């Protein structure tokens, strides 16, 4: 590595959500900056005035904060090269466009949409490559005046040199393009707004970006950008184009493959550390079998030679595995705190802020029972509902196949009596009660355990029954058994 301090950037267009691909680009740049003690810049590319929204900017900023990807320069932070919103930098794009015009490296073009379409049609008939036909390359001052008098507003086009354009991609090695195939593309639109390929160069150059790391869907833009760097005499940064992310069906990643937006994962109750750990693996690997890393550990190991040259495959199952691992291993107090907003949202608790210590302890105990069984916090809300509501919802299938069976009311009745008499409510005493009832009725443990589970939780599967009973408490356990007996009787009477 040279001595030059690394400066990288994430430059999203705020036209939608922060999707997994964008988050990966942000993360890789962040990791690279942290690895080399460099600077991570966030720049908002909001020149698409129709599609850019403030809401989308907020979603991006929120998403990055949630993932822990803090930026050193950018919105809310400022920095030596501010502003970091392109729409606040229009004067800069105009200034350099003027210079390009003056140096005859760019020119005004007055062609209308119809004229351009006509020219393209002609080229296609003649089997020529479709390029701007340079009609306006050498207009005289009179021509320009005439067009302006007609009310035409010009765009500015870059004059592309007909030579080979090459760069050394940090991941792919030497990449070459035939400049002769490129069209003189528009750099400034007639409304004074720059196009992406132009604005991105002015900003990357002025912000002294040393390494441009982005998705390989941009690779065909890179030669166009290099032409601009060279035309303005700017240093060309290094480029690294990261292979795309695909779904398991090898199609471009989209909603079909699971949630596409980072905020949806937040809503579903994924742990940001787990999501970051997984996203890092969409293209990067440590080179060992180990997969669970903190983001700081990944930063330490994050070098480009560990980035795959092949497309990454997004797997929901793998993400769930990562999240489950974090759920199992993260400190219970931390997880409990994270769970509270989900409990509030589900109306399982009234207020997250002033929970009594006893309630907090209860939530913690429930979470301990569930943490090995859930993939995310939304699932917790579904699986653990019976710990938080008075009236449990007994799944009809569980009622029919387990509770509403010959002999079950008698079994539950016997158990209810034994459990009511327990003085010291713990796993051992409740298990003893079940075993005793089993032997006195001469039935197998399972014949008591299954209906009891359904009576207490409404579900056929869940955590170990004795642990469940201890956390639920003696009072509720007994009440629910009585209630289940009533329900079975009601069902019988209805027949």
Task: Give the separation between CA 322 and CA 402, rounded to whole angstroms.
Answer: 34
Minimum separation from the CB atom of position 194 to ligand GLU (A): 12
Residues 307-336 that bind ligand GLU (CB under 6 A): none
Minimum separation from the CB atom of position 115 to ligand GLU (A): 29
User: What letter does residue 86 receive in the DSSP assignment?
Assistant: G
> Going by C-beta distance under 8 Å and a sequence separation of 6 or more, which residues neighbour residue 7?
33, 38, 39, 41, 207, 208, 209, 210, 211
Tell me the window of 6-14, 292-300, 329-337, 459-467 that interacts with ligand GLU (CB under 6 A). 6-14
Tell me the window of 5-13, 136-144, 317-325, 371-379 that interacts with ligand GLU (CB under 6 A). 5-13
Q: Which is nearest to 167 in space by CA: 159, 179, 183, 158?
A: 179
Task: Rule CB under 6 A: choose which of 7, 24, 34, 214 binds ligand GLU.
Answer: 214
> Going by C-beta distance under 8 Å and a sequence separation of 6 or more, which residues neighbour residue 30?
10, 40, 69, 70, 71, 299
Q: Which is nearer to ligand GLU, 212 or 335 (CB)?
A: 212
Residue 462 interacts with ligand GLU (CB under 6 A)? no
76: number of Cβ within 10 Å: 9
Residue 262 interacts with ligand GLU (CB under 6 A)? no
Residue 12 interacts with ligand GLU (CB under 6 A)? yes
Q: Which residue has the tokens 């466009």?
A: 97
Minimum separation from the CB atom of position 9 to ligand GLU (A): 7
Minimum separation from the CB atom of position 175 to ligand GLU (A): 16
Number of residues lying near ligand GLU (CB under 6 A): 7
Residue 200 interacts with ligand GLU (CB under 6 A)? yes
Residue 13 interacts with ligand GLU (CB under 6 A)? yes
Are residues 229 and 181 in contact, defined by beta-carbon separation less than 8 angstroms?
no
Tell me the window of 9-17, 95-103, 118-126, 318-326 that interacts with ligand GLU (CB under 6 A). 9-17
Minimum separation from the CB atom of position 120 to ligand GLU (A): 26
Q: What is the DSSP string of 354-380?
A: T--HHHHHHHHHHHHHHTTT-SSHHHH
Proportion of the chain in helix, strand, coil states, percent, rounded to 5: 50, 10, 35
Catalytic residue (one of 77, 255, 306, 460): 255
Minimum separation from the CB atom of position 214 to ligand GLU (A): 4
Q: Which is nearer to ligand GLU, 214 or 281 (CB)?
A: 214
Tell me the window of 8-16, 349-357, 365-373, 377-385 that interacts with ligand GLU (CB under 6 A). 8-16
163 is an active site residue: no
Tokens of 479: 């009440």
Task: Rule CB under 6 A: choose which of 11, 156, 465, 488 binds ligand GLU.
Answer: 11
Residue 218 interacts with ligand GLU (CB under 6 A)? yes
Residue 381 interacts with ligand GLU (CB under 6 A)? no
Distance of CA 202 to the CA centre of its chain: 29
Q: Which is nearer to ligand GLU, 101 or 219 (CB)?
A: 219
Residue 45 interacts with ligand GLU (CB under 6 A)? yes
Buried/exposed 142-178: b ≥16 CB within 10 Å, e otherwise: eeeeebeeeeeebbbbbebeeeebebeebbeeeeebe
- On the question of a cis peptide bond just before residue 83, with omega within 30 degrees of 0, the verdict is yes
Tell me the window of 10-18, 240-248, 309-317, 390-398 that interacts with ligand GLU (CB under 6 A). 10-18
Minimum separation from the CB atom of position 235 to ligand GLU (A): 17
Task: Give the separation between CA 286 and CA 280, rounded to whole angstroms.
Answer: 10
Tokens of 341: 């907003």
The dihedral through the CA atoms of 469, 391, 383, 17 has a sign that is negative
Q: Which residues bind ligand GLU (CB under 6 A)?
A: 11-13, 45, 200, 214, 218
What residues are annotated to the active site? Answer: 255
């Amino acid at each position: 590595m040279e001595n030059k301090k690394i400066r990288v950037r994430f430059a999203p267009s705020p036209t939608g959500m922060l999707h997994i691909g964008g988050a990966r680009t942000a993360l890789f740049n962040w990791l690279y900056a942290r690895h080399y003690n460099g600077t991570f810049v966030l720049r908002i590319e909001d020149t698409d005035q129709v599609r850019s929204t403030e809401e989308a900017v907020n979603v991006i900023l929120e998403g990055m904060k949630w993932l822990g990807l803090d930026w050193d320069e950018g919105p809310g932070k400022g920095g030596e090269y501010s502003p970091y919103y392109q729409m606040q930098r229009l004067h800069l794009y105009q200034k350099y466009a003027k210079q390009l015009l003056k140096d005859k490296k760019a020119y005004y073009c007055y062609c209308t949409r119809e004229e351009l379409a006509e020219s393209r049609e002609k080229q296609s008939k003649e089997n020529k490559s479709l390029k701007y036909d340079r009609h306006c390359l050498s207009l005289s001052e009179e021509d320009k005046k005439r067009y302006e008098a007609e009310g035409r507003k010009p765009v500015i086009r870059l004059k592309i040199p007909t030579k080979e354009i090459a760069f050394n991609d940090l991941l792919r090695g030497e990449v070459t393009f035939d400049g002769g195939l490129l069209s003189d593309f528009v750099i400034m639109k007639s409304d004074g707004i720059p196009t992406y390929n132009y604005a991105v160069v002015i900003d990357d150059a002025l912000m002294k970006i040393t390494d441009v790391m982005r998705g390989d869907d941009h690779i065909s833009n890179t030669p166009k950008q290099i032409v601009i760097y060279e035309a303005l005499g700017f240093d060309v940064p290094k480029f690294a184009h990261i292979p795309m992310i695909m779904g398991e069906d090898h199609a471009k990643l989209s909603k079909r493959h699971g949630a596409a937006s980072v905020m949806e994962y937040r809503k579903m109750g994924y742990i940001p550390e787990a999501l970051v750990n997984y996203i890092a693996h969409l293209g990067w690997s440590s080179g060992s079998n180990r997969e669970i890393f903190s983001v700081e550990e990944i930063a330490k190991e994050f070098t480009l030679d560990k980035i795959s040259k092949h497309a990454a495959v997004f797997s929901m199952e793998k993400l769930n595995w990562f999240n489950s691992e974090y759920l199992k291993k993260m400190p219970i107090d931390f997880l409990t705190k994270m769970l509270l907003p989900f409990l509030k949202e589900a109306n399982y608790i009234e207020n997250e802020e002033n929970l009594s210590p006893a309630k907090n302890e209860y939530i913690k105990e429930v979470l301990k029972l569930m943490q090995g069984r859930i993939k995310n916090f939304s699932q917790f809300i579904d699986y653990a509902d019976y710990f938080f509501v008075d009236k449990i919802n007994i799944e009809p299938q569980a009622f029919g196949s387990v509770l509403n069976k010959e002999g079950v009311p008698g079994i539950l009745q016997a158990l209810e009596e034994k459990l009511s008499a327990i003085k010291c409510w713990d796993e051992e005493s409740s298990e003893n009660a079940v075993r005793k009832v089993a032997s006195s009725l001469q039935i197998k443990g399972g014949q008591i355990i299954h209906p009891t589970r359904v009576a207490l939780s409404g579900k056929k599967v869940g955590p170990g029954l004795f642990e469940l009973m201890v956390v639920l408490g003696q009072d509720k356990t007994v009440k629910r058994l009585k209630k289940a007996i009533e329900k079975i009787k009601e069902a019988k009477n209805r027949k």
